Structure 1
Amino acid sequence: MLLLLPPSEAKSTGGDGPPVDCDALVAPRLGATRRRVLTEVAGVSADEGAAAAALKLPPAVVEAALEANRSAATSPTRPALDRYTGVVYAGLDVPSMGPDVRGLAERSVLVFSGLFGIVRGSDLVPDYRVPVSATLPALGPLTPVWRAALRDAMPAVLRTSFAVDLRSTDYAGMWPPTGPLRHQVLGVRVLSPRPSGPPRVVSHFSKHGKGVLARALLEKAAAGAVPEDVDDVAAVATGLGWQVVQRRVTGGVPALDVVLPG
């Protein structure tokens, strides 16, 4: 089982690992594209005005974000599971994982990244702030850059694994599964109920719920019952006290909606 997660803009700083090795991350064939993006990000980050617009940075984070981006190729690294600290990762709660669950997360979590394309949970990455919605002067919008690169890389990463897709819309756009892989990748939406009308995505609660679900799936797998299909994932969500609705998307591919408690 693999878990496809979005990154978080919030990240821990520092680290004690060596500078990032773009060829040592998961999917080494992405190395050349990673270096191009890394170089371009460092260059644009030298110009605060241009970078803030290109990288869509909120004013409150511009200074720290650009400093991190300028030094991303040489700064200390730490495992991706420890680098990302946003709402999804608060729900995942990596610091409280036992060694079996942590080891499985290091192997099973794939984080989609505007700077690196994808990283595995154990991959050593620096601090940075590069949303995939960014547009860089020499490369243009990042989403099509990564979509082209990931189209060739992802089949070798997934192979025959069942994957649970918990990405947000922006990061799902980096790699939409095609062909037979569509039947290996289960898209999951995490919804919140409303007093009237159908459940809908509420960003904060959806993100946190994705982290909680990912944690529950890892714990299930670490206990020896690896989720292998939509029914297994639905059972884990039901065990959390959530409502589940199985649905079909184009081509009859299964998908799952989970509804958080009110």
Structure 2
Amino acid sequence: MTMELCYNPAAGERGLGDLYLPEHPEHAPVALTIHGGGWSAQDKSSFCGVSQFIASLGWAVFNINYRLTTIAPWPACGDDCLMAAKFLLDGEVPEFAGLDRCKLLICGGSAGGHLALMTGLRLPPNRVAGIISISGIDELTSDFALHSFRYEPFFGGEPTEEKQTEANPLQYLRPDSPPVLLTHWDNDQVVPVESARRFRDRGRALGCRVDYYEYSTEDEGHGIWIPDSKPHRLYPHLETELTRFIESVRPENPPCPTK
């Protein structure tokens, strides 16, 4: 079952999300999914295959649009994702009745992986079950070194060191940060694998749980999508890794208090 909800009326269609309910929604935990597209393209439809997959694991999934950098520069997209997370966690919405909104799982791909990390690491740790970044821009410095052209439109001006620091997920890691899963192709042609490795190393040095899945394949782009799948579905080995992590962070049952 799917229904469209508005979490940010001021953003128009970019403030909409699709709620996917699992087969048995009563006490189902909740997840937020965030599409990619270099912060400047695509919409929630491009990530609905991942959302449907997570829903098949028994989660209620809110798959969102957000303002692209062609509409407003950073931090607009980050602000939207935070707003959507708080809407899902604490919004007084009839469609959320019966769901376990104690903790939130957040999953994004590519630029959406960056936004998933920036969302989950800026929420109270006790409200986040886990964060998944699929081929994400997990650490800005290594990506900026190869793809600096992305960052002037992202920031809406000169990508200063201060601005990069403010938008770098690495800077928000703390010893009590929620569990994280990073997946990355070792020859990713869009986002360098070093971005994921640096986040992994920093997180583990702080004592955080950072699960890491790096793989080799023959593909193009991010190396994550089954060719010609509609909607886009992740390769089975990636879905297996996501399933393992998601089951390991599933909130306790019966559900804990919401606040």
| TM-score, reference length from structure 1 | 0.28
Greater C-alpha radius of gyration: 1
Larger RCO (CA under 8 A, 6+ residues apart): 1
TM-score by length of 2: 0.28
